[in-house]
Structures are given as C-alpha cells and as structure tokens.
Structure 1
Amino acid sequence: MNPPSDPAISPVRVAVVQFDPQCGVDNGPSNLAQGLALAENAVANGANLIVLPELCNTGYAFRGRTEAYALAEPVPEGPSVQCWEAFSSKHRVYLAAGVAEREGARLYDTAVLVGPEGYIGKYRKAHLWNAEKLWFRPGDLGFPVFETAIGRIGLMICWDVWFPEVPRLLALQGADIICSLNNWVWTPPPLFDEAGKCMASYLTITAAHANNVFIAAANRVGCDRGDRFLGCSLIAGTNGWPLGRVAGAQEETILYADIDLVSARSAPIWNSLNDLPRDRRTDLYDPMLGYRHHPMMPR
C-alpha cells in the first residue's frame, strides 16, 4: 500500500488554449472574443491559470509595420489587457496572453500576466523571429519572474525556447512555472515525428527537464495569410514529460494539468548526490550568465 502523499501546497489547474486568431483590423474583436470564450470554458472546467498564445488578439501575419501599429495597443491601458483584467478579476484566475504592444512609436511582441488583483506585469519578446524584426523592437525588460498567490510565474515567447538561456534564467530566479506563448510556424520539413510532436515540443520538454520547472506552452493552429502553424501545445512537468497529451497540429483545443505548482522548488534535488543548482560549475561561468536585470531569488 502506498503511503499518503503530502497535501499540495499550491494546487493549480493549468489550462493551455490552442486556437486560430486571424490577422487584420476587422478580426481584432472576434479574436479577443474567441480567446475569452475559450478561457471561460477553461474556468468552467476548474482552471485557475490559463495560457493563451502569442499575439492572440491580433493574429500574426501583419502586412507591414503600419498594420502592426494599427493593431497594437498600450499595456496595460489598452482594451485587450483591460478585458483580460476584468475576466481574471471576475473569475479569480490568472491569465497569460500575447499582445502587440505600442509604446509611443515603438512596437513590442509582448506577453502580459493578469490575475484576481489586476494587471501583474509584462515581458517583451527578446528573440525576434524572421519578419518580426521588421516591425517589433527586441524586448528590453529582461526576463522577469512574478510573485503571485499561486506561485512564481515566468513568461517567454515562441522563438525564445530555442535559446536555452531564457528558461534557465527564469528558473534561476525561482520560477515555479513558465508560461510559453507561441506562434510556432511551419518551417522546412520534416515538421513532425511519428508521435506527432514537432521540434518545438521537444525543445519545451528539454527546457522543462533541464531546469526542473513546469512549462505551459500554448501555440496556435490554422493558416493566417499563407502562414501555417504547428499546434502541438503541451504542459510539461518538472521532469520534462508532458502532463497528458500533446495537442494535434490542426485542432482548436484546451489542455489541462493538475499540479502542485511550488513542488518545482524541490524538483532539482534528484537525490543526495545530484542537486541541479548545486552541481552548476559557477566557478567556470557566471552564476547568472551575465544577467543583471534581476537578482537571483532564493530557492
């Protein structure tokens, strides 16, 4: 007979929303409404941390900087963030969502985090993919981790997962979960393996495993002005393995996982001789990889 498990310190039902927002000024209201409707579904199924994709209110395939600017909004004063704030306050949940941010003449690909207490913070995408470089500026806020009532939450966006420094720095600052907001786009084949996973799925699994942190990765599906998207959203556990299934390449769906969020804090200690933070050779490299935006948080 198995001994009873310890009660969860921070029980959380995570929901990752995979859907198909479309670009264009006329599509903005319907994108926002669709994302909120799916988030309502997640709430009805008990979720208290919901992750929407990158640029989920605007779509992805801008025709140029003029259109990107027209679709962008200030953060947190803009209408989308205000709607997400109201939603989170009403339902007493946390929500991460992607938005095109406008600050003066500058544009950023931004992830925002809101909760029952309102707007919590934002992250601006550090690593820009392909044509994103033509309208967005690289992020300048570093890699913040936000303290919440359910645990410490970090944010990253899409192409960031190809840079192992990003999840590592979030983990070093004490993130219990990383919300990964994505528009993983089709690239030259092969795109999927026999199990239906794409490379981004495996990079997410690897990042979760190497850093012993939960990662909730929300991608989009469908086509947007000729760009095709990979789906394959997932929620990875602290050991890297997906908690449940990896979403298909074409379905609009919501994935769920029930986790004890702060259990990530003890996950790096595998046994008496293997402790991931302790085993790092910080005598050979900088403990925070040269990162100076935020001090290392105690684990």
Structure 2
Amino acid sequence: MTVKAETRPALKIACVQFEPVIGDVAGNLAAMEERIRAAHREGAAVIVLPELADSGYVFNDIEEVGRLAAPIPEGKSSRHLIALAQELRLHIVSGLAERDGESFYNSAILCGPQGYIGKFRKLHLWNREKLFFEPGNLGLPVFDTGIGKIGMAICYDGWFPEIFRQMALKGAEIVCIPTNWVPMPGQDRSVEPMANILHKAAAHSNAIYIACADRIGVERGQPFIGASLIIGPTGQPIAGPAGYDTEEILSATISLGDLKTSRTLSERNDVIGDRRPDVYG
C-alpha cells in the first residue's frame, strides 16, 4: 500500500540551548528574548527553550522557589513570552517555574500569535524536584495550533515511553521537550547521551517530530549536558545534537505532511496501526 504525503507548508523549528542564571528572572527573560529574536530572524515558526528557563534549576529551598515562581499565564515570565509570540507571529514553548496558590509546578507554556494556548506540568519529578514541586496534574494535552498539533513533556518525562505513545494517539505531530538533562551515572562523555537515544527511539516508534532544548553550564555544583537536538519521525536527528558546553540555536525545516508516510514501515506495516492493545492495553 502506498501512502501519499499530505500537502502542508513546511515550517522551521528551533531549539535554544543556553545557560540560565539561578534566581535572575529578569536577566533570563532578556537572554531568552535575545535568542528568540535571533531564531525568528532565521525564519523559525516554533521555538523551544529549556526547562525552568526563567528561574534556573538548583534551588536551595522552597522559599527560593516561592520567590521565583509565578502563575501561568498571568505571571511576569508568561506575559513576556506571550507578548513576544504575538509580536513576532510565532509559537514559543518554554519551561517556567509555576505557582498555583500555595503549590509549585515544573511547567511549560505554549503561546502563539493569538496569545496564550496552554501549559503542561511535569509528570515525573527528578531527584530534589520532589522537595519543591507537585507532580503534574494536567495529563498530556495536545494543542491544535493551526500550524500543527503540539504536545509537551519535560526532561525526565522522556524516560517513560508511554508519554510519547499517548500523545501520538491523541494526534500529536510535534512534541516539544524543555529539559535540563544531567549526566547519567557512569556515562562517558565520549558516548551518545542516553537522553538522545531515548528520544530518537520515541520519535521512530511513534513517527513524530521531537524537539529537545537543553541548557548548559554548572549551577551550584550540578553540571548539565547540553546535546539539544531535533529528531525526525524516522528517529534520525535532523539538527544537532548540539555541543556539551556551547550556546547554540539549532533549527530544522520540517514537513508535517510526511508523518503518515513515515508511519508506513513497509508495504504491510504501520507503526501505529499495527499496535495490539488487545494484548497490552
């Protein structure tokens, strides 16, 4: 069986790899805006930034989180990014520290030319995040943006293949991953990071685009690995991985009309259609 690609306009997606500064929301927003504008000048229609890009990551205590976190979409960081998305007529996904009443979430915002679209709250908390944040309670929303169906996940969420399968079944075409990947125990820097391997496998097994924007630097003794990348629906990187220690803006032009053909692995095999939910749910 031959599956024809849909005719849909190509679009450019960009991942911003940079080094946020813990506690400096104003400075981080300025750095984010500078890089968003640079990616926009190169034609990006979707821009992804790292996890907790506005606040930094390694918090000393819950009081520090409380000083830095803000509501989504009403807070300073959200309003700044929403205004940029509207001005530049593009879509932005960024990790933000979110306050909701007396609770805090490691979250991501999606905004576009029309303003605020939605948010995601990290489901799987890593290490000391459990001291500060509540587990996500919004599920796995997929947003139809007009340019494509976008899902979000954050960092350690990517270690759980169910995340990508559920979003793919909901129609996600692009999954944006704000992340702060740290070195895995015992992993040599000379070999490919496990994070990259996991996300390439997820892109292939679900025939979706995945865009991972990591941070760099060492914050309060914690190193981050960089290695941001954009992966096509065959599981192969189409931009990156970026370096371990370099600030970079990765970009790739993608065609969402190719997704149906990517799911057809052979004349008789479809990576989504061949599922056996009668066996595994």
Once the two structures are superposed, what CA deviation does each residue of 1:118-175 show, in whole Å capped at 9, x if it has no partner? 0000000000000000010000000000001111000000001111110111111110
Q: Which residue of 1 aligns with 2:230?
A: 235
CA distance in 2, matches of 1:191, 1:14: 30
Shift of 1:11: 1.2
Q: Which residue of 1 aligns with 2:267?
A: 272
Please tell me the residue identity of whatever aligns with 2:216.
Answer: V
Please tell me the residue identity of whatever aligns with 1:240.
Answer: G
Once the two structures are superposed, what CA deviation does each residue of 1:249-291 show, in whole Å capped at 9, x if it has no partner? 00000001001124224421223210122211111122xxxxx
Once the two structures are superposed, what CA deviation does each residue of 1:14-72 show, in whole Å capped at 9, x if it has no partner? 00000000112xx1111111011001000011101000000000000100111011100
Shift of 1:188: 2.2
Q: Which residue of 2 aligns with 1:296?
A: none
Shift of 1:100: 0.7
Q: Are 1:117 and 2:124 counterparts?
A: no
Point out the more displaced range, 180-189 or 58-67: 180-189
Aligned 8 A contact 2:227 2:240 in 1: no
> Which runs of 5 or more residues in structure 2 are unaligned?
none
Q: Are 1:163 and 2:149 counterparts?
A: no
Please tell me the residue identity of whatever aligns with 1:147.
Answer: D
Aligned 8 A contact 1:151 1:262 in 2: no
CA distance in 2, matches of 1:214, 1:221: 23
Shift of 1:7: 8.3
Please tell me the residue identity of whatever aligns with 1:181.
Answer: P
Q: Which residue of 1 aligns with 2:22?
A: 23
Once the two structures are superposed, what CA deviation does each residue of 1:67-125 show, in whole Å capped at 9, x if it has no partner? 01110000100011111111000110000001011000000000110000100000000
Aligned-residue Cα RMSD (Å) equals 1.4
Aligned 8 A contact 2:5 2:261 in 1: no
Aligned 8 A contact 1:235 1:257 in 2: yes
Q: Are 1:57 and 2:59 counterparts?
A: no
Aligned-pair identity in percent equals: 44
CA distance in 1, matches of 2:123, 2:203: 19
Aligned 8 A contact 2:6 2:258 in 1: no
Map residues 1-299 of structure 1 onto 2, 5 A cutoff. Answer: 8-24=7-23, 27-194=24-191, 197-286=192-281
TM-score w.r.t. length of structure 2: 0.96
Please tell me the residue identity of whatever aligns with 2:17.
Answer: Q
CA distance in 2, matches of 1:182, 1:68: 18
Aligned 8 A contact 2:5 2:258 in 1: no
CA distance in 2, matches of 1:35, 1:237: 25
Once the two structures are superposed, what CA deviation does each residue of 1:180-221 show, in whole Å capped at 9, x if it has no partner? 110001232324344xx3111111111111111000000000
Aligned 8 A contact 2:85 2:92 in 1: yes
CA distance in 1, matches of 2:67, 2:261: 45
Please tell me the residue identity of whatever aligns with 2:248.
Answer: T
Call closer, same or farther: CA 1:253–1:8 in 2, change over 3 Å. farther
Please tell me the residue identity of whatever aligns with 2:116.
Answer: Y
Aligned 8 A contact 1:192 1:199 in 2: no
Call closer, same or farther: CA 1:7–1:264 in 2, change over 3 Å. closer
CA distance in 1, matches of 2:272, 2:170: 11
Please tell me the residue identity of whatever aligns with 1:132.
Answer: E
Q: Which residue of 2 aligns with 1:295?
A: none
